[in-house]
C-alpha cells in the first residue's frame, strides 16, 4: 500500500463521477531491471505485472460492499469495464486447450473475486473454482508452475498473482484480533474487520535457497523427509533475521555446514502458497565435511562432484526439482550446463 499512499493525484482528473471525467493518460509502468552480476534467468523470475496497464481498480459502485474504499491506485479507465474471471483451485488455474480460460465478460466483480488489473478494456480478476463447480465445466485445471513456464511475463505474473491472492483470500476470512468475519475491500486486496477497523493485507513470506559449495567446489544436495526430490538447501527467513543470516543459519541447522560467504543470485515469486524465494550461491571453506542432519528435516545430505551428478541423473538415480524453480536453476548454474 506504500505506492498507493505516495502516488500523486492525476492532474487531469477533475472531481465528478468516473463517467464524466476525461480520459487520463495511463502512466507507464517500468520493466523489471537487469540485475548486475550473476543472474540465473530462471523461467519465472521475470514474471511481473505491468501496474499501469493492469492498474488495480476500486470503486464503490463496482463492488457493492459497505466498506469498499477508494485508494490512489484507482484509475478512471475501466471503472465500468466488464469483468473477465480466471478460475483458481489451489495452485491450479482454469485453462481451455492449454490457454488461460478467461470467462465471458460479466458486469460486476463477484464478492469472492480479487481484482488483478485492467487489460484491453476489461477488468481481470481471479476467483476460486473447484472441479465440482458448474463454472469449471469444460475447463481443465492446470498446475500454475507448469503453466507459467509457457506464458509471457505478463500472463505469468497474472497467474502467479492470482494463485497467491486466492490462497490468501481463502485463508483470511476472520480477524486475527477478535475473530469477527472480515469485510472485503479494495477489490479484494484488503480485508477489514467491522468490529475494530483493523486491516488485513496479502502476505509474502521470504525464504532463502542456496547452493552451498565446499573448498573443492563440490555441491551440497539434500533430500527432504517429506519428498522424493534432491535439491539445494532452503528455508524460511525468521523474524529479526537478514536474508544472509538465514542462509548461514539454515545451512548450519540442517547440515552442520558453516557458510562463510554468500552471493545473491536472483529471486522468484513462489506463491505456493505465499513465498518469495531469494537465491544465493554460498561457500564453506571446509572440504567434503560430512553433513550432520541436525534438525531432522532432511532424510539425506551429501556432497556431489559434477561428473558424479551427471551420471546419477542419466541413470535416473536422482530426481531434481522442476524447471520452473530456483533450485533447478542453482544446480544448473553449478553444473555449468542446462539440465534436462
- Footprint of Zn ion on this chain (CB under 5 A)? 175, 177-178, 180, 193, 195-196
Please state at what angle helix 326-335 crosses helix 306-314, rounded to 10 degrees.
Answer: 120
- Please identify, using beta-carbon distances, which residue of 183 and 244 lies nearer to Zn ion: 183
Q: Which residues pair with 123 in a beta bridge?
A: 83, 118
Least gap, CB of 143 to Zn ion (angstroms):
35
Question: Which ranges of the chain does DSSP label H, i.e. alpha helix?
Answer: 2-6, 60-63, 144-149, 153-171, 243-255, 306-314, 326-335
Least gap, CB of 178 to Zn ion (angstroms):
3
Judged by DSSP in three states, 215 sits in coil
- Please identify, using beta-carbon distances, which residue of 181 and 258 lies nearer to Zn ion: 181
- Please identify, using beta-carbon distances, which residue of 60 and 177 lies nearer to Zn ion: 177
Rounded Cα distance, 235 and 224, in Å: 12
Rounded Cα distance, 133 and 153, in Å: 29
Residue 137's CB is within 10 A of a number of other CB atoms, namely: 8
Least gap, CB of 253 to Zn ion (angstroms):
36
Question: Which ranges of 2-117 does DSSP label H, i.e. alpha helix?
Answer: 2-6, 60-63
Q: Which residues pair with 27 in a beta bridge?
A: none
- Please identify, using beta-carbon distances, which residue of 195 and 258 lies nearer to Zn ion: 195
- Please identify, using beta-carbon distances, which residue of 198 and 224 lies nearer to Zn ion: 198
Least gap, CB of 1 to Zn ion (angstroms):
19
Least gap, CB of 4 to Zn ion (angstroms):
22
- Please identify, using beta-carbon distances, which residue of 182 and 212 lies nearer to Zn ion: 182
Residues in the chain: 340
H or E segment to which residue 17 belongs: none
- Please identify, using beta-carbon distances, which residue of 95 and 180 lies nearer to Zn ion: 180
- Please identify, using beta-carbon distances, which residue of 27 and 177 lies nearer to Zn ion: 177
End-to-end CA distance of the chain: 41
Cell numbers representing residue 320 in the block? 531434481
Least gap, CB of 232 to Zn ion (angstroms):
41
DSSP 98: T
* Most distant pair of Cα atoms in the chain: their distance: 71
Least gap, CB of 179 to Zn ion (angstroms):
7
Burial class from Cβ neighbours inside 10 Å (0-12, 13-18, 19+) for residue 22 reads exposed
Least gap, CB of 199 to Zn ion (angstroms):
10
Judged by DSSP in three states, 282 sits in strand
Amino acid at each position: 500500500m506504500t505506492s498507493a499512499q505516495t502516488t500523486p493525484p492525476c492532474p487531469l482528473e477533475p472531481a465528478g463521477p468516473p463517467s464524466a471525467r476525461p480520459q487520463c493518460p495511463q502512466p507507464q509502468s517500468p520493466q523489471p531491471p537487469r540485475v548486475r552480476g550473476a543472474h540465473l534467468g530462471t523461467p519465472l523470475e521475470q514474471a511481473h505485472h505491468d501496474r499501469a496497464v493492469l492498474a488495480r481498480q476500486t470503486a464503490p459502485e463496482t463492488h457493492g460492499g459497505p466498506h469498499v474504499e477508494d485508494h490512489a491506485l484507482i484509475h478512471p479507465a475501466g471503472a465500468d469495464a466488464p469483468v473477465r474471471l480466471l478460475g483458481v483451485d489451489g495452485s491450479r488455474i482454469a485453462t481451455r486447450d492449454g490457454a488461460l480460460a478467461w470467462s465471458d465478460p460479466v458486469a460486476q466483480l463477484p464478492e469472492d473475486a480479487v481484482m488483478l488489473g485492467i487489460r484491453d478494456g476489461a477488468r481481470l480478476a481471479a476467483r476460486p473454482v473447484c472441479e465440482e463447480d458448474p463454472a469449471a465445466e469444460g475447463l481443465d485445471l492446470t498446475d500454475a508452475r507448469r503453466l507459467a513456464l509457457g506464458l509471457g511475463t505478463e500472463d505469468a505474473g497474472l497467474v502467479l498473482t492470482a494463485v497467491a491472492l486466492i490462497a490468501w483470500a481463502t485463508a483470511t476470512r476472520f480477524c486475527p484480533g477478535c475473530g469477527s468475519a472480515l469485510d472485503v475491500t479494495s477489490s479484494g486486496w484488503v480485508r477489514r474487520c467491522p468490529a475494530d477497523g483493523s486491516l488485513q493485507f496479502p502476505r509474502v513470506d521470504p525464504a532463502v535457497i542456496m547452493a552451498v559449495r565446499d573448498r573443492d567446489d563440490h555441491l551440497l544436495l539434500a533430500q527432504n523427509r517429506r519428498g522424493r526430490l534432491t535439491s539445494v538447501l532452503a528455508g524460511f527467513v525468521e523474524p529479526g533475521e537478514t536474508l544472509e543470516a538465514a542462509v548461514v543459519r539454515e545451512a548450519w541447522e540442517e547440515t552442520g555446514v558453516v557458510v562463510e560467504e554468500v552471493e545473491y543470485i536472483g529471486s522468484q515469486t513462489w506463491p505456493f502458497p505465499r513465498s518469495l524465494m531469494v537465491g544465493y550461491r554460498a561457500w564453506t571453506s571446509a572440504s567434503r565435511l560430512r553433513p550432520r542432519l541436525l534438525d531432522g528435516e532432511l532424510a539425506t545430505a551429501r556432497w556431489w562432484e559434477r561428473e558424479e551428478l551427471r551420471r546419477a541423473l542419466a541413470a535416473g538415480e536422482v530426481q531434481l526439482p522442476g524447471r520452473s524453480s530456483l533450485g533447478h536453476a542453482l544446480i544448473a548454474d553449478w553444473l555449468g550446463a542446462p539440465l534436462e
